[in-house]
Amino acid sequence: MPNDSLEKLTQAANSYKAILNSMEEWVVIVDHQAKIFFINRPYARFLGVKADDVKGKKVTDVIENTRMHITVQTGKAERLSFQKILGSNMIASRFPIISQGNIIGAVGTVIFHDTHEWKQINSHIKALLAEQDFFQQKARSTDKSKNGANFHLNDIIGDSQIMKALSTKVTQVASGDVTVLIRGESGTGKELYAHAIHQLSDRADFPFIKVNCAAIPENLLESELFGYEEGAFTGAKKGGKAGKFQLANGGTLFLDEIGDLPRSMQAKLLRVLQDREVESVGGIKPTPLNIRLVTATHRPLESLIESGDFREDLYYRINVVSLTLPPLRERREDIPKLADFFLQKLSRRTGRRAPKLTVQALTAMLAYDWPGNIRELENVMEAAFYTSHDRKIPLSLLPAQLATAPSDYQASQAIPLTSLKEGTLKEQLNEAERSIIQATLIECGDNRTKTAKKLGISKSTFYEKLDKHGLS
């Protein structure tokens, strides 16, 4: 082991010796040869040895079933693994100690001294998470009971120029009562924008009612939209039932996947929109309507008009203001923030610390075209979150189609400096520095030495900056 590495271990151990000896958790530190460098008193006491007597001995000769030597060899952390010591089932964790890219030792901890203790803590955590989830659901339920809209414009993730421009347009059109058609591929977040439009409008205190035109059978669609009177048909509910149009009165009606609306229903919908009144199935008296209509589709309505599958007059009625949502491949610079958002969301749900993407994994994600857009990205992050055993998500945990980034893909395309956030000069400089380091890492294939050299800084300074920006 180099002398400077030995000195670092010695300094660290001496600095924290009093603290480590006072902890209930058991701690052992080994050097690069897997020899015990330090063991705290509680651990030594359990093993029936003196801390000074075992210093310098191979850890495998002192601790039963240890894997500390494997951690030193592989450099891979092992978290919360079972280990049997002196007849007791323990739960231990092991972490490599890395200095300037070199493994100089490892530290091991035993947090739960038997499985019963772990089960007690686990039950306690589950109870806390259940309590937290209850209050969050209650809050969501209370909020939803106000109007039915669950999302605001600030819930939409994206700092790219195209998303900023879209948010500006949404803010401009939301305040009026103009009919809006939201267009975009599947998974781009069309429903979120419909919610946001309602929340920003003067109708925010009134109902937000959504209907997926593709999910309701054609024979039920009329009664679902317009309601029905008692006795209107066999099986009709006593007293009748209000339709989605009646429920949305005063508020916003969101018709999702309107491109899938059957031709027979398009004429009836057009009539309702023109007359601003609706007559329920089996009814004789129309009900005046005061609603705002927002529609969405992933289908090319112009092509449907040419094929005769969509009415041209209805198209002009719903396409007063059009919002086109960009696919994820057209705003790649938002991918890191979106990925982190989904990982943090899973972290809050499970109580587990969110892992970070490695540079290779992020490079592949930035190069991938994401045909399923944000919904596909969320699914990929969820799978990687639950299959990762370390605090990082390597390329190997991503789907096979993401494994290889196109050779002509440039890092400068992935992380443009033009997408800097607003803030103080210091904040913007930090963001710029992080973007430059991340882009250079990608260009250098995650070669840390080459990256430091290209940036013109020493390796020690480079590793400090990696830690500072959470890129290590």
Specify the CATH number for the domain of residue 422. Answer: 1.10.8.60
Contact 293, 272 (CB under 8 A): no
The band of 128, judged by pLDDT with boundaries at 50, 70 and 90, is: low
The pLDDT assigned to 219 comes to 78
Torsion (CA) 140, 142, 145, 150 in degrees, nearest 10? -20
The pLDDT assigned to 74 comes to 92
Domain check: are 10 and 90 in the same one?
yes
Average pLDDT of the residues in 362-374: 90
Domain check: are 322 and 423 in the same one?
no
Quote the tokens at residue 231: 């006795």
Could you report the per-residue pLDDT of 303-361, keeping only the tens digit for each?
A: 999 999 999 999 999 999 999 999 999 998 899 999 999 999 998 888 888 888 888 88
- Which of 283, 300, 326 is the endpoint of a domain? 326
The pLDDT assigned to 385 comes to 93
The pLDDT assigned to 411 comes to 46
Domain check: are 306 and 411 in the same one?
no
DSSP annotation of 13 reads H
Torsion (CA) 18, 19, 24, 30 in degrees, nearest 10? -80
The band of 4, judged by pLDDT with boundaries at 50, 70 and 90, is: low
**Rounded Cα gap, residues 323 and 404, in angstroms:** 33
The pLDDT assigned to 419 comes to 43
The pLDDT assigned to 289 comes to 87
- Which of 326, 349, 374 is the endpoint of a domain? 326
Residue 128 lies in a domain: no
Domain check: are 205 and 282 in the same one?
yes
| Range name among 67-71, 114-118, 407-411, 440-444 with the lowest pLDDT average | 407-411
CATH code of the domain in which 321 resides: 3.40.50.300
Q: Quick one: CA dihedral 446, 452, 458, 461, positive or negative?
A: negative
For 160, other C-beta atoms within 10 Å of its C-beta total 19
Domain check: are 305 and 346 in the same one?
no
Residue 123 lies in a domain: no
Q: Which of 20-29, 115-124, 198-207 has the highest mean pLDDT?
A: 198-207
Q: Which of 389, 384, 328 is nearest to 360 (CA)?
A: 384
Domain check: are 108 and 219 in the same one?
no
H or E segment at 111? strand 102-112
The pLDDT assigned to 418 comes to 42
Could you report the per-residue pLDDT of 288-304, keeping only the tens digit for each?
A: 889 999 999 999 999 99
Buried (b) or exposed (e) across 281-319, using 16+ Cβ within 10 A?
Answer: beeeeebebebbbbbbbbbebeebbeeebbbeebbebbe
Domain check: are 319 and 420 in the same one?
no
Q: Which of 195-199, 281-285, 378-382 has the highest mean pLDDT?
A: 378-382
Residue 401 lies in a domain: yes
**Angle at CA 58, nearest 5°, toward 44 and 91?**
50
The band of 228, judged by pLDDT with boundaries at 50, 70 and 90, is: confident
Q: Which of 260, 270, 266 is nearest to 299 (CA)?
A: 260
Average pLDDT, the chain: 81
Position 434 pLDDT exceeds 50 = yes
Domain check: are 354 and 436 in the same one?
yes
Share of the chain above pLDDT 90, in %: 33
Q: How many separate domains does the chain show?
A: 3
Which tops the pLDDT comparison, 286 or 132? 286
The pLDDT assigned to 342 comes to 94
Domain check: are 307 and 191 in the same one?
yes
Q: Which of 318, 291, 292, 293 is nearest to 304 (CA)?
A: 318
The pLDDT assigned to 283 comes to 66
Q: Which of 85-89, 184-188, 224-228, 456-460 has the highest mean pLDDT?
A: 184-188
Share of the chain above pLDDT 70, in %: 79
Position 407 pLDDT exceeds 50 = no
Q: Which of 271, 275, 296, 285 is nearest to 196 (CA)?
A: 296
Position 406 pLDDT exceeds 80 = no
Which tops the pLDDT comparison, 408 or 119? 119
What is the residue range of 191's domain? 153-326
| Range name among 119-128, 214-223, 333-342 with the lowest pLDDT average | 119-128
Q: Which of 1-10, 228-237, 369-378 has the highest mean pLDDT?
A: 369-378
- Which of 113, 141, 172 is the endpoint of a domain? 113
The pLDDT assigned to 315 comes to 95
